[in-house]
Amino acid sequence: MTFRIFAARAAAELERLKMEVQLRQNEQLYRDLFDEAPIGYVYEDTETRFVSANRAAQKILGLRPEEVVGTVGKTLVAPNAVAQNRLAQALEGEQVGEERPFIELELRRKSDGAPVWVQRFSRPEPDGKHTRTVIVDITQKKLMEQEKARLEQQNAYLREEIKSSHNFDEIVGRSAALVTVLENVQRVAPTDASVLVTGETGTGKELVARAIHSTGVRKDKPLIKLNCAALPAGLVESELFGHERGAFSGAIARRIGRFRAGARRDDLPRRDRRDPARGTGEAPARLAGARDRARRRQRADQG
């Protein structure tokens, strides 16, 4: 009888040890799957403070392994109203245990501050204190969409240009005044200097501008025209710097500004390389000041 009891206990202990080994093996298997998954996984609390993150999430967010624990995810969100509002709405639902659908967020990598776009989905844990978050890198997709929009806008401008194509050869004349103008065109065209062309209506100011463009270093890029006199003050920033969908009444789609349509990002000065579609807040004041100075010069010339 004693031997049977001992044998039963030994068998139970062996079974328990076998189950523990299997459990450890399964835990290691799932840990490897978690770490090696191509999609970013983050375990965080309801204030977005990270508890753990797999390698894909670390790569997307620019985190070193030792930086994961304690990193606050919402500090990586881009400092613009759209991204901040989207995250705030998602967190409100998560804090009351609601599961929200995927949202698109613009983030900033912790390592170098580079922009990265992700799709984020988070599922609250039953304890109400933590969430399991999935992030999918869609940066290349967003960049392609932005480039497509820029090219479409540029294509529209080029189509307008084709309809009224002019070039330097179409300026015909031999008068001393016109020869002086053409010499000035050849002098300023290769430079980066700003050029102010003045004259009465119908004297060919746009033709001179086209001649400067067609003989300059930017001749392979579009010449973007803008009639400032016909542009309402409230649309100056939107026309030049672009706007996001929903930025104001009637903004039904994202629009690339004329500055962005006429230049690649690398062509802009470093201080101006922020996305023109977001606006700067200072642009209307600078442009309004420029218009006032131009009007004063015009009145002085007329006087």
pLDDT of 62 reads 93
pLDDT band for 211, please (50, 70, 90 cuts).
confident
Could you state, in order of their start, the residue ranges of all structural domains in the chain? Answer: 1-36, 37-137, 159-221, 226-303
Alpha helices in the chain (DSSP H): 2-36, 55-61, 81-95, 139-163, 176-188, 205-214, 236-241, 258-261, 283-302
Q: What contacts 117, CB < 8 A, 6 or more positions away?
A: 104, 105, 106, 107, 137, 138, 139, 141, 142
Tokens standing for 293? 């100075």
> What are the φ and ψ backbone dihedral angles of 64, each rounded to 5 degrees?
-85, 155
Percent of the chain with pLDDT over 90: 17
* Nearest of 192, 286, 295 to residue 240 by alpha carbon: 286
- Its CATH architecture, for the domain 37-137, is 2-Layer Sandwich (3.30)
pLDDT single digits (tens) 227-247: 777 777 777 778 777 877 777
- The most confident of 137-141, 201-205, 280-284, by mean pLDDT: 137-141
Strands 50-53 and 103-108: unpaired
CA-to-CA separations, 140 to 115, 121, 208, in angstroms, rounded: 11, 19, 41
Q: Extract the tokens encoding 90.
A: 């998602």
Q: Of 63-72, 83-92, 174-183, where does mean pLDDT reach its minimum?
A: 174-183
